Structure 1
Amino acid sequence: MKAIACVHPGLPIDDPQSLVEIDLPVPRPGPRDLLVRVQAVSVNPVDTKVRASASAAAPRVLGWDAVGTVQAVGAAVTLFRPGDEVFYAGAIDRHGSNAEYQLVDERIVGRKPRSLDAAQAAALPLTAITAWELLFDRLGVPEGGGAGQSLLIVGAAGGVGSMLTQLARRLTQLTVIGTASRPETADWVRGLGAHHVVDHGQPLAAGLAGTGVPQVDLVASLTHTEHHYAQLVEALRPQGRLALIDDPAALDVRALKNKSLSLHWEFMFTRSQHQTTDMARQHALLDRVAALVDAGTLRTTLGTHLGTIDAANLRRAHALVETQHARGKVVLAGF
């Protein structure tokens, strides 16, 4: 089968050898695996981080978002059968979706939204899982709850931010404040349902004051946490909660003590990497997201479609994600 792999970890994305096409045997499913014929993928920051890692095993097939059709199932599979259309984000410790066929554990797979095509659906899984777990599990907001409380989303125009903004606006009563630094991304965030948009390139205190919500109860910091950290601590009300997904080199947690603030990490690969007893919650989560999309409650966050799945287009996608200026998700479809 055709696959696009990182053979020389650490190369810059403008090097033609940073991602190359290789040929691999079609894998055989284990007991709980689905063998999926991949139709569409999207590119996330995790792809660029693994590619840039000098310690990454090579060749490494990247890709942590996919839509495809089940071709075969393992002996213990109960949730799917051949012919089912599925979407998923996969596992960080297995070969990824940038290949014609991929193995994925059924417990982290959902049924593709019927109302979306493959490219539109491929934009959703990783960011939907991350945003859902961050909002409902890490920050502890109950569905339908949050009345009288506010949520600040730093980096609301990105992939996770685009899903989190929708979930918070559609499934809770929170006042949703997103940050965006350009007119086009600010418009995107408003279109996703944010009550207010502030510029994270400017002092946050002034931006929040302009919304009439000078302090917030909850913060989801999705990018540049280290840069914004002091401002986020200032922006939070006493006993507020701060959740993050990026990789700051260091944070002084003592800054949280005076306000009794709590810190929460979200990493959507935790369940699959550690084979937790509740792995199947991600299956149920993705099925729920698909139902919400088909009901018109949520929409795809596809921002840029870069064509077919090949090495050249994946290098273009990585380069765009690395700018950190992508609006929504970067998607490719077809081999």
Structure 2
Amino acid sequence: MKIYGVTDSDLNSLSEFDAALPVCKPHDILVEVQGISINPVDIATRKKLTGSFNGPKVLGYDGYGKVVDTGSEVTKFKRNDIVFYAGDYSRDGSYQEYELVDEAIAAIAPKKTSIEDSVSMPLVTLTASELLYEKLNIDPNADNSEKTILIINGAGGVGSILTQLAHLAGLKVIATASTDEKVDFVKRLGADQVVDHHQDLIKQVRDLGVKYVDFIVGLSDNDPHWEEIVELIKPFGTFATITNLNESKVADLKQKSVDFKWEWMFTKAFFNLDSMSTQGEYLFQLAQDLDNGKISSTTTKVFQGLNVENIKKATELVEAGHMMGKVVILS
């Protein structure tokens, strides 16, 4: 089979290789990959590659395809099922013709939604779901109308899903966006108010009549906004992020007794936790929500053909940092 891997941190090292068909472990499914999506984590992982490592590194943390084999203890799926998933950071990713995935972190793909609108969704939806329901402890069935969330980078991959989920849960959603196109985008997804992260966030949020927000989620570089985050978060509120703090100090949140939460979508599978099955459950719900129109896909760019050239082109779009929504490659 064909795999597409990098041999160092330079994107130009991406090449096509031949490899043997992988063999299922007891709980694995073997998926014939029909579509992938490019995520910032692909780029961050590649850039951290240093020294020597065993063979090419196969990236890719969104996948969609047909089950062609199953492990001896698999119970959720059978051959010819169509599934989607975000994969496991400790294993080879979806830049290949066939991929092994633990059955616990996959789900039957949406039936009425196209491949391109489905495959862009697993990683960002799992991240947004874990942020909202597990890190912010939001009960989507409760009355959340008095709670306000500020989503920094609302038009990005995770932000565009978190905006939708927070809106569906009944929160007052303030999202950041910097262009008219992105403002319209996040408003369509359910943002009640939009502020520009290139301008003073404190003044803009206060001008909305909001002194403090219950929750802030940082989905881009936190350092430029740290003073604004510390000022705007409500005492005993929660700040959660998927990115690093380089210059910012968590201790700045102490006076307000703010909860600080990290989110890394791969933690459950990376450490083989029993809770990894929740990811399959989130994806099952996502499939239903996509098919019934409750959640909108955020695919904005599609390439035809899983090959070195298209992976490079798609990656360059994401790496430029200006993508609205997601970019997909179909096999």
Q: TM-score, normalised by structure 2?
A: 0.96
Shift of 1:82: 0.4
Return the alpha-carbon distance in structure 1 between the equivalents of residues 112 and 203 of structure 2.
41
Taking every aligned residue pair, what percent have the same amino acid on both sides? Answer: 38
Deviates more, 1:214-223 or 1:54-63: 54-63
Corresponding residue of 1:257: 254
Point out the more displaced range, 137-146 or 149-158.
137-146
Q: 1:49 is aligned with what amino acid?
A: A
Aligned-pair CA distance for 1:287: 0.2
Partner of 2:5: 5
Q: 2:302 aligns with which of 279, 294, 305?
A: 305
Deviates more, 1:222-231 or 1:125-134: 222-231
Q: Quick one: distance in 1 between partners of 2:211 and 2:188?
A: 23
Structural mapping, 1:164-243, within 5 Å: 164-170=162-168, 172-243=169-240
Alignment equivalent of 1:82, drawn from 79, 83, 92: 79
Does 1:268 find its partner at 2:260? no
- What whole-Å deviation, never above 9, does each CA across 1:92-138 have from its counterpart, x for those lacking one? 01000011100000000011111211111111000000000000000
**Could you report, residue by residue, the CA deviation over 1:21-69 in whole angstroms, capped at 9, with x for unpaired residues?**
1111111111000000000000001100111123373401110001101
Q: Structure 2: which 5+ runs fail to align?
A: none
Deviation, 1:176, is 0.5
| 1:19 corresponding residue in structure 2 | 14
The farther-off stretch of 208-217 and 83-92 is 208-217
2:147 corresponds to: 149
Q: Distance in 2 between the 1:317 and 1:52 partners?
A: 16
Distance 1:325 1:284 in 2: 31
Deviation at 1:214, TM superposition (A): 3.2
Counterpart CA distance in 2 for 1:250 and 1:289 is 36
Structure 2 SS opposite 1:68: strand
Report the alpha carbon displacement of residue 248 of structure 1 after superposing the two structures with TM.
2.5
The RMSD of aligned alpha carbons is: 1.2
Counterparts of 1:132 and 1:27 in 2: how far apart (Å)? Answer: 31
Aligned residues: 328
Counterpart amino acid of residue 223 in structure 2 = E
Cα deviation for residue 203 of structure 1 reads 0.7
Runs of 5+ consecutive residues of structure 1 not aligned to the other structure = none
Residue 67 of structure 1 aligns to a residue whose secondary structure is strand
1:250 positional shift? 4.2
* Matched residue type, 1:168: A
Tell me which of 27, 32, 40 is aligned to 1:32: 27
TM-score by length of 1: 0.95
Query: 2:46 is matched with which residue?
Result: 51
Deviation at 1:210, TM superposition (A): 2.9
1:75, distance to aligned residue in structure 2 (A): 0.0
